[in-house]
Structure 1
Amino acid sequence: MTLMERTLVRAENLLGTIATLLILSIMVIVTADVVLRYLFHSPIEWAFDVISLYLMAGVFFLSLSGTHADHGHVGVDLLLQRLAPTGRRLAETLTCLVSIPFFAAMAKVGADRAIDSFLNHDALSGLIAWPTWIASALVPVGAGLLALRLVLRLVSQIASLATGRDYAAVIPLGGHAGTE
């Protein structure tokens, strides 16, 4: 495993751990809100805003790259089932070539929006003026890391196709790493 791959895996693991903690936070907040709402008629006023603005966005964007690395995203493998390993490598190469510009642009636009939101002190109107730049900053982190993962996968698949050596795993059938 190269230094870049190890660094990327460490970043994905860190963000995955944070996403796990965010899910745990959602569960605790929702449980507390339900108990307080129905037993004491005193809901947590900020629960919906925090969960919908920050926590759900964090879970989604912080787990993008790690989920892709584990082949955990939903995929249609109807065509892939009929392809030999070389065909699956070519399919993943094409997927990377199409996806990299999309996620790189998403990261750029997300970063611009987060910076603009921060500089303009954008906030939600309501009981608490939650700053929106925090949620916006999650987009470039997740999309940018996924773009890097896709670049690494593209280079690895091209090297595997060119040399015949396995620099990257062939896309597993069934969507789970380790299955063929």
Structure 2
Amino acid sequence: MNTTFKRLEKSGAAIAGLCLVAIMFLVGSDAVARYALGAPIPWVTESVSYYLMVAVSYLAAADTFRHGDHIRLELFTERMGPRLRAWVDVLLSLFAAMVFAVLAYSAGNSLLEALHEHEYIHGSQAWPVWLSYLPIVLGAALLAVRLVHHCVMVLSQGKDPALELQEEF
């Protein structure tokens, strides 16, 4: 199970990295075209803001959790005993899993509605709206499942062996 999660998380992070490289290339090219040639690339703003930035943000979230790189408030938890700290970790992870599950569900409903209604973002190009919801659904769902799995591991084994930043409980 851990290897499946790890592969999915690494794949999401790799896609997010490719999207970030695409953003840098597109924005740089647009800036050169705008200021050097006086002719900006018309579809860059929409593609970056509606698709690529969303993909970068959501597809890397689960891998970021696995590396322990999310913001953590340790002001109170560092003063707790190991058992209490483990329970707080589990409770906060379950709460976060619920939030991300609701986000994935809501984004999934919006995706299906946009797909069914044939919604498009109107600008220089007609961009399909449903495609902008896809990274939110995938990233939020993967993070929710990872958080639940993390809780199960902490409760059953005392730690989550898949996490690279391991906190001793």
The TM-score, its normalising length taken from structure 2, stands at 0.92
What is the match of residue 89 of structure 1?
86
Distance 1:25 1:12, change over 3 A: same
What is the match of residue 116 of structure 2?
119
Q: Spell out the pairing of 1:150-161 with structure 2 (5 A cutoff).
A: 150-160=147-157
Preserved contact between residue 159 and residue 166 of structure 2 (Cα < 8 Å): no
Is 1:50 equivalent to 2:47 in the alignment? yes
Is 1:5 equivalent to 2:2 in the alignment? yes
| Superimposed CA distance per residue, residues 70-112 of structure 1 (whole angstroms, 9 cap, x where no aligned partner) | 1111121111221233232111111122122221111111111
- Give the whole-Å Cα distance in 2 for the aligned partners of 1:143 and 1:6: 19
AA in 2 matched with 1:89: A
What is the match of residue 25 of structure 1?
22
- Give the whole-Å Cα distance in 1 for the aligned partners of 2:85 and 2:67: 16
Return 5+ residue gaps in structure 1 as ranges: 161-165
- Which one of the candidate residues 38, 41, 66 is aligned to 1:69? 66
What is the match of residue 134 of structure 2?
137
> Match of 1:7, SS?
helix
Return 5+ residue gaps in structure 2 as ranges: none
Preserved contact between residue 46 and residue 123 of structure 2 (Cα < 8 Å): no
AA in 1 matched with 2:101: A
The TM-score, its normalising length taken from structure 1, stands at 0.86
Preserved contact between residue 160 and residue 166 of structure 2 (Cα < 8 Å): no
1:178 CA drift (Å): 5.6
AA in 2 matched with 1:108: Y
| Superimposed CA distance per residue, residues 43-94 of structure 1 (whole angstroms, 9 cap, x where no aligned partner) | 1111110000000000001011111111111121111221233232111111
- Worse overlay, 101-110 or 78-87: 78-87
